[in-house]
A and B are shown apart, each in its own frame.
Chain A
Amino acid sequence: NAGVTQTPKFRVLKTGQSMTLLCAQDMNHEYMYWYRQDPGMGLRLIHYSVGEGTTAKGEVPDGYNVSRLKKQNFLLGLESAAPSQTSVYFCASSTIRQDGLEAFFGQGTRLTVV
């Protein structure tokens, strides 16, 4: 998973608190993604970005906001955390080159909302 760094790796929040997860990549990838992983449901796309300054909703966007002010960073925000947002969050980045496709994932952030 070289090149994609997520911070923090673990966090416990109280219901109603806010927080921001940071995803940083140093590979100059155009596309970045935020997923959540829950047992039996695989990875579900929350939001994604196809370039600096652009974001789009994924499969499960409610309760989350994102920003891509710089190409290398993709921030995921929870304005008012709920227990249903307890999950493992993965960030990814990708690009399509002439010689193929690259896609890399971060190591994940384990978030618990109590």
Chain B
Amino acid sequence: AQSVTQLDSQVPVFEEAPVELRCNYSSSVSVYLFWYVQYPNQGLQLLLKYLSGSTLVKGINGFEAEFNKSQTSFHLRKPSVHISDTAEYFCAVLYSSASKIIFGSGTRLSIRP
């Protein structure tokens, strides 16, 4: 079955520290990968996406993610977080064979001053 796993439900970090939010997905021949951010009481905003090509993808707000096919992972990173990055982050995978977009359960990032 197709599934997306975000291993950490909550990640607390200090301001200006680096952060990595983990995402693993069930293996498939053809996938497209996304990270979305959701600020309190708002909708989803696309941070970045991987379709093909370079495995390191840069997104908005200084975030980047690396696609690792052998480990079926797409971890999100930022070298130095800011208070404004406090939000919930969702990893999503489009399984092209089924045309379904499946989401992980989300990781709540909280930034401590």
A54–B105 CA distance with the chains assembled, in angstroms:
27
The number of residues on chain B lying at the interface, defined by a beta carbon within 8 Å of a beta carbon of chain A, is 22
**A101 with B49: CB separation less than 8 A:** yes
Chain A interface residues (CB < 8 Å from chain B): 1, 31, 33, 35, 40-45, 48, 50, 58-59, 90, 92, 94, 96, 100-101, 103, 105-108
**A92 with B101: CB separation less than 8 A:** yes
What B residues does A106 contact at CB under 8 A?
A: 43
Partner of A42, one of B32, B100, B105: B105
- Overall SS of chain B's interface: strand
Partner of A43, one of B46, B96, B103: B103
**A44 with B103: CB separation less than 8 A:** yes
- Overall SS of chain A's interface: strand
What is the distance, in angstroms, from B76's C-beta to the closest C-beta of chain A? 15
What A residues does B36 contact at CB under 8 A?
A: 105
Given A103-B34, A105-B44, decide whether A35 and B103 contact each other with a Cβ distance below 8 A: yes
What B residues does A41 contact at CB under 8 A?
A: 105-106
The 5 closest A-B pairs by CB, nearest first: A42-B105, A43-B103, A107-B43, A42-B106, A105-B44
What is the distance, in angstroms, from B63's C-beta to the closest C-beta of chain A? 17
What A residues does B90 contact at CB under 8 A?
A: 42-43
